[in-house]
Amino acid sequence: MSKETKKQNKFLSFATEYFSFTEKKTNWRQEIIGGLVTFLAMSYILVVNPTMLGDAGMPYGGVFMATAIIAGLGSIAMGLWAKLPLALAPGMGTNAFFTYVVVAQMGYSWQEALAAGIIAGVMFLIISLTGVRKMIMEAVPTNLRYAIGAGIGFFIAFIGLRNAGIIVPDAGTLVKLTDFSQPMVWLALFGIVLVFVLHALKFRFSIIVSIFTTAVIGIIFGSIFPKAGLPALPALADFNYKPLADLSITAKGFVEGFASANLWRWDLILVIISFTFVDMFDTMGTFMACAGPAGLIKEDGSMEGADRGLLVDSGATVIGSMLGTPVTTTYIESSAGIAAGARSGFAAIVVGLLFFLSILLFPVIQIFSHPAVTAMALVLVGVLMAQQLKNIEWENAGVAIFAFMTIIITVLTYSIANGIAFGFVFYTVMMLAQKKWKEVHPVMYVMSGVFIAYYILQAIF
Helix H segments across 43-141? 45-54, 60-77, 92-97, 110-129, 132-139
pLDDT, averaged across the chain = 85
Query: How many residues are listed for the chain in this entry?
Result: 461
pLDDT value for 232: 65
Does the pLDDT value for residue 350 go beyond 90?
Answer: yes
Give per-residue pLDDT as tens, 145-196. 889 888 888 988 888 898 889 999 999 998 999 999 888 899 999 999 999 9
pLDDT value for 459: 82
Please compute the mean of the pLDDT values over residues 350-357 and round it to a whole number.
96
pLDDT value for 203: 84
Give per-residue pLDDT as tens, 207-222. 878 888 998 898 888 7
Residue ranges covered by each domain of the chain: 25-233+249-460
Work out the percent of the chain whose per-residue pLDDT is above 70. 92
Please compute the mean of the pLDDT values over residues 350-375 and round it to a whole number.
83
Comparing 331 with 190, which gets the higher pLDDT?
A: 190
Q: Which residues in 57-87 are b (16+ Cβ under 10 Å) and which e?
A: ebbebbbbbbbbbbbbbbbbbbbbebbbbbb
How far apart (Å, rounded) are the C-alpha atoms in residues 381 and 189? 15
Does the pLDDT value for residue 227 go beyond 60?
Answer: yes
pLDDT interval class at 5 (50, 70, 90):
low
- Residue 178: Cβ-neighbour burial (10 angstroms; 0-12, 13-18, 19+): middle
Does the pLDDT value for residue 335 go beyond 90?
Answer: no
Does the pLDDT value for residue 205 go beyond 80?
Answer: no
pLDDT value for 167: 94
pLDDT interval class at 238 (50, 70, 90):
low
Please compute the mean of the pLDDT values over residues 374-394 and round it to a whole number.
88
Q: Is 26 left (phi over 0), alpha (psi -120 to 50) or beta?
A: beta
pTM: 0.74
Count of beta carbons in the 10 Å neighbourhood of residue 218:
26
297 three-class SS: strand
Helix H segments across 296-344? 306-323, 334-339
Does the pLDDT value for residue 365 go beyond 60?
Answer: yes
Please give the span between the terminal C-alpha atoms of the chain, in angstroms, as a whole number: 71
Does the pLDDT value for residue 249 go beyond 70?
Answer: yes
Half-sphere exposure of 439 (CA within 13 A, CB side): 12
Give per-residue pLDDT as tens, 420-456. 889 999 999 999 999 999 999 998 999 899 889 888 8
pLDDT value for 432: 96
266 three-class SS: coil
Nearest to 410 by CA among 386, 441, 394: 386
DSSP character string of 120-174: HHHHHHHHHHTTHHHHHHHHS-HHHHHHHHHHHHHHHHHHHHHHTTSEEEETTTE
How far apart (Å, rounded) are the C-alpha atoms in residues 271 and 26? 42
Please compute the mean of the pLDDT values over residues 384-413 and round it to a whole number.
93
pLDDT interval class at 369 (50, 70, 90):
low
pLDDT value for 302: 67
How far apart (Å, rounded) are the C-alpha atoms in residues 325 and 413? 24
pLDDT value for 239: 64
310 three-class SS: helix
pLDDT value for 194: 96
Give per-residue pLDDT as tens, 97-122. 788 878 988 889 999 999 999 998 88
Does the pLDDT value for residue 87 go beyond 70?
Answer: yes
Give per-residue pLDDT as tens, 272-306. 877 876 777 777 777 777 777 777 777 666 677 77
175 three-class SS: strand
Comparing 24 with 68, which gets the higher pLDDT?
A: 68
Work out the percent of the chain whose per-residue pLDDT is above 90. 39
How far apart (Å, rounded) are the C-alpha atoms in residues 21 and 19? 6
Amino acid at 435: K
How far apart (Å, rounded) are the C-alpha atoms in residues 32 and 348? 9
